Chains A and B, each alone.
Chain A
């Protein structure tokens, strides 16, 4: 059943902007991105929005809907009351380019700061052998579509621009965890997690997990295990003594 919905869409650029009111038709089965496209087609042809797959897999259409970091293409209109005014804004944490499009290059800079997979020196390429049970933890993190909603919602950088220098954010701490848990990665990533990527800034309030459209348990399966590994290394003299006495592999 079609109805007319009230929308407030943020329009502007880095200099200025405001919420603009629209009344727009909504049809059964549509998602918020459909409505944004209808706005472009009927009322605001110059409205900027980044999108690609419309299937929740490309991570392009991240924005905030009624203040919640969400994918526009995965937010069904049926989740809102027909008389509700729906507010669509760009992600708060990143510089805005125009309208709903933000500059997410912060994330690519942070990605480059994480050293790539480092294979062991004594195993030639093509000879890597891993048990499924050893790689399955890392595989959960590979579901990430890099929508950067976790980075957007994390209060460490959302509310504190200054922390962007020293905090990689949940997505890239998860990347560090993915490699640290990888059975063939030879690099030692624990000290860097704390000292270079800012793991200590995370106060495990789980907002990254709450907004993840892929349902990755970022906090429980990546961030807290990394915090425990840092505690092993830096704050646990019993583990340190055990490693020294029994000459065991720290990992």
Chain B
């Protein structure tokens, strides 16, 4: 058995840490696992979604399949006179939009901020984009940190309002999915309906598993025993809430899948396989 002092290079510590009498440990972290993998995958996943959603939102085409009434969630509600006939489920509130303005402009900002202020996504981008911290027990690169105590990050507290709007938009997506059971001869049912339904179910799972929803249904109470119905609701939302992260990623996938499917069928890349009609 042997014992000797290693020659590990020592990184300079922040002055404040040295003052505090901490152990002078080398490097930003001593973790030996691939701690960088998760933030890297998160950035890649978020980037794919942001780029895809951005391109599609501004495309202004291939969002509606008139024969089957398939409407992509990125264009719902379509409320401008520029929208294809039949796709305006809530009517045409506005005149013609210029080409640079997304037809889904009414809903998209709310959905964007709902996800931006979501407790899961906050964790994801604080870690992987802002490196605050990049991973547990890995030092962050900045000298100062104030977190969500001041502007702009204190604005994250508005999450609940965007949850309310997101719940309304999930209702609208549900209506869109029901209206899509259509064919030129009346009722119809195809592969596209399954994809749109899957997307709606997952959107509800993500929306209802939200921490603000959990708080509103019963989390804010101190006496569950006095509110048995709200306690039951809180219990159900809590079960969903444990999978909020999974639903956040699954809905990114189902949103892209639903939109891509509608785009390809709308563009005539392939016909929608029909089970009825």
Which of B137, B154, B158 gathers most chain A CB within 10 Å?
B137
Query: With a CB–CB cut-off of 8 A, which chain A residues contact B55?
Result: none
CB distance from A131 to the nearest CB of B (A): 4
Inter-subunit contact A224/B26 (CB<8 Å)? no
Query: With a CB–CB cut-off of 8 A, which chain A residues contact B23?
Result: 10, 12, 14, 17, 89-90, 92, 96, 102
The total of interchain contacts (Cβ-Cβ below 8 angstroms) comes to: 187
Cβ 8 A contact of B147, one of A16, A94, A180, A203: A203
Contact with B along A92-107 (1 / 0, CB 8 A): 1111100000110000
Contact with A along B20-38 (1 / 0, CB 8 A): 1111111001111100000
Inter-subunit contact A22/B3 (CB<8 Å)? yes
Inter-subunit contact B212/A153 (CB<8 Å)? no
Inter-subunit contact B145/A95 (CB<8 Å)? no
Cβ 8 A contact of A211, one of B3, B14, B20, B136: B136
A22-B3, A89-B25, A203-B126 known; A160+B119 contact, CB < 8 A: no
| Interface bracket on A | 35 or more
Query: With a CB–CB cut-off of 8 A, which chain B residues contact A206?
Result: 123
Name the residue on A nearest B212 (C-beta).
A228
Task: Confirm or deny: B133 has a beta carbon within 8 angstroms of a beta carbon on chain A.
Answer: yes
In whole angstroms, how far apart are the Cα atoms of A66 and B127 in the complex? 20
Query: With a CB–CB cut-off of 8 A, which chain B residues contact A94?
Result: 22
Inter-subunit contact B19/A156 (CB<8 Å)? no
Q: How many residues of B contact A (CB 8 A)?
A: 64
A17-B24, A66-B33, A92-B25 known; A207+B211 contact, CB < 8 A: no
Inter-subunit contact B5/A162 (CB<8 Å)? no
Query: With a CB–CB cut-off of 8 A, which chain A residues contact B32?
Result: 66-67, 84, 87
Query: With a CB–CB cut-off of 8 A, which chain B residues contact A211?
Result: 136
Inter-subunit contact B8/A163 (CB<8 Å)? no
Query: With a CB–CB cut-off of 8 A, which chain B residues contact A232?
Result: 215, 220
Residue pairs across A and B with Cβ atoms less than 8 A apart, 8 shown, are A19-B8, A22-B2, A90-B23, A162-B16, A181-B222, A201-B146, A225-B219, A235-B157
Interface residues of A (CB under 8 A from B): 4, 8, 10, 12, 14, 16-25, 42-44, 64, 66-69, 84, 87, 89-90, 92-96, 102-103, 131, 133-134, 153, 155-156, 158-163, 180-183, 198, 200-207, 210-211, 220, 224-225, 227-232, 234-236, 251
